[in-house]
Structure 1
Amino acid sequence: MPEHEKTLTINEIYHSIQGESTWVGCPCVFVRLTFCNLRCNYCDTEYAFYEGTKQTLKEIVDAVAAFRCPLVEITGGEPLLQKNVLPLMSILCDAGDTVLLETSGAHDISEVDPRVHRIMDLKTPGSGEVEKNLWSNIDHLSSRDEVKFVMGSREDYEWSRDKVQRYNLLSRCHAVLFSPIFGRIDPRQIVEWILADKLDVRFQLQMHKFIWSPTQRGV
C-alpha cells in the first residue's frame, strides 16, 4: 500500500499555541491520535481513549498544511500505539515542518524519525502507571529530545529528582521538565523544592489551562 493511503485513527486536528515543553507559547498544529493503553489518574484527555475517525496520511497531511503553521505536535492518547504514525512524522519532516512527538515513557521510541523532537513523559508513582515506564528508552534519547515528569506530591518530586540524577538526564537530552498535576499540588511548592535542591531542570505550567477553561477541547 502506498504510504499516503495508510490510515490512522485521529481524535482531532487543531491549531493553537503550544502550552508545554521548551516550545511553549509557539503557534502549533496538534494532531491528536486515538487510543491509549495507560490510565494515568490525572489524565485530561480521556476522550481520546476511544473517540476518533480513520483518516489517510494524505488527508492528515493536507489538514495540517491548511493551517500554514510550521510547528506540528503529534499527541494522543498514545501516538506510538498506531504504527502508521511513524511514516506520518517522516512525511511531515520531509515537508519542512518541525515535528514534536508527545509520548509516554511506555513505548519504544527508537524507530521514530531522528528529525523528530521527542517529548517523553516518564510516569511518576502518583500517576498510577509508574510500572509501565520502558527504561531502555533512555538509551535512545538525543540532544533534540525532552523528558517530562508530571508530579503531584513530594514523593513524586523525589522520585523524579532521583531519576534525573541516576540516568544523567540533563546531559542526555535537550531539557528536563517538571510539571505539577493541575489542581493537585501548589506549583510554588515544586518551584521551592527545585530551588532548594539546585536542580537544573525547567519548571512548567500547562499554559493553555490558564488561557482557556482547563476542560476546553481543541486548544
Structure 2
Amino acid sequence: MTDITLKITEIFYSLQGESSTVGLPTVFVRLTGCPLRCGYCDSEYAFYGGERFTLEAILEKVGSYRPRYVCVTGGEPLAQRDCTVLLTRLCDAGYQVSLETSGALPLDDVDARVIKVMDLKTPGSGEVNRNRWENLPLLRPQDQVKFVICDREDYEWARFKLDEHSLHERVGEVLFSPSFGQIAPVQLAEWIIADNLPVRFQLQLHKLLWNDTPGH
C-alpha cells in the first residue's frame, strides 16, 4: 500500500463550481489522463504530464488546507487503477469525498461513502458511445448524474434518458449544464422550465469567477 503512487496534474483549494455542493470551499485533486476526447472538454491540460505522488503525499497536501470537502477529478480519475484506493483513504480521513467521472469506466470498486458525480455523455460530446450503462444500477441516492447540453438535440436526448432510466428517482440530483460557449444558458433554462423537468439547472461557477483558469 505504501508503494502506491498516482500521477497528479494539480491539487488546489477553491470553491466547488458544480454539483449539489456548488459554492462550498473544496480541495480538488486532479488526476492526469483520460481515455475520452469530449468536444467541450475544459481540462485538456490534464490529459498528459503530471507528477507522481504517493498516497501519503497526496493526503498530506490535502490536509494542509484543512478542508471539509474533497473532490477527485481529472481527466478521468478512474483511468488510474489506484484512484479507488485514494478515494477510500480520503473517506477514512473524515472528508466528504466526491468523484467526478465520465461514467465510461466501471464504478464497482468505488467506496460506497464517495458521492459519485457521473456524466452521461450526450451526442454533442462526440463520446456518446462510451457511456457505460451498467453503471446506473450502482448509483445511490447520494449520487448525481450530469448532462452537458450542447444543443436542442442533446436536450431531447437527455430528457429521454432521464425518463427511460427514471434518473430523478435513482439519484439525489440530475444536473443539466449548458456547454460553455455552445448554447445560451437562458435557452436551456427556458427549456427546462417549459417541460417542468425534475432536474437542477447549473452554471459552472468557476468559469464565471475565474474564466476557467487552471488552479481555480
Which TM-score bucket, shorter chain as reference?
Answer: over 0.9
Q: Which residue of 1 aligns with 2:56?
A: 58
CA distance in 1: counterparts of 2:49 and 2:27, whole angstroms: 19
CA distance in 1: counterparts of 2:149 and 2:169, whole angstroms: 22
- Partner amino acid for 2:214? R
Spell out the pairing of 1:183-202 with structure 2 (5 A cutoff): 183-202=181-200
Gaps of 5+ in 2: none
CA distance in 2: counterparts of 1:213 and 1:206, whole angstroms: 10
Q: Which residue of 1 aligns with 2:25?
A: 27
> SS where residue 183 of structure 2 aligns?
coil
The Cα shift of 1:110 comes to 1.7
Q: Which residue of 2 aligns with 1:148?
A: 146
- Partner amino acid for 1:124? T
CA distance in 2: counterparts of 1:85 and 1:105, whole angstroms: 14
CA distance in 1: counterparts of 2:191 and 2:108, whole angstroms: 33
CA distance in 2: counterparts of 1:70 and 1:197, whole angstroms: 36
2:209 maps to 1:205: no
The Cα shift of 1:5 comes to 2.6
2:202 maps to 1:217: no
- Partner amino acid for 1:110? D
CA RMSD, Structure 1 to Structure 2 (Å): 0.7
CA distance in 2: counterparts of 1:74 and 1:15, whole angstroms: 12
Query: Where in structure 1 do 4 or more consecutive aligned residues deviate above 3 Å?
Result: none
2:41 maps to 1:43: yes
**Contact 1:147–1:175, Cα closer than 8 Å, also in 2:** yes
CA distance in 2: counterparts of 1:175 and 1:51, whole angstroms: 33
CA distance in 1: counterparts of 2:68 and 2:81, whole angstroms: 23
The Cα shift of 1:83 comes to 1.2
Q: Which residue of 2 aligns with 1:121?
A: 119
- Partner amino acid for 2:83? V
**Contact 1:7–1:57, Cα closer than 8 Å, also in 2:** yes
TM-score by length of 2: 0.99
Spell out the pairing of 1:84-123 with structure 2 (5 A cutoff): 84-123=82-121
Pick from 163, 166, 173 the counterpart of residue 168 of structure 1.
166
Identity across aligned pairs (percent)? 55
TM-score by length of 1: 0.97
The Cα shift of 1:20 comes to 0.2
Map Cα deviations across residues 11-31 of structure 1 (whole Å, 9 max, x no partner): 000000000000000000000
**Contact 1:120–1:146, Cα closer than 8 Å, also in 2:** yes
**Contact 1:5–1:58, Cα closer than 8 Å, also in 2:** no
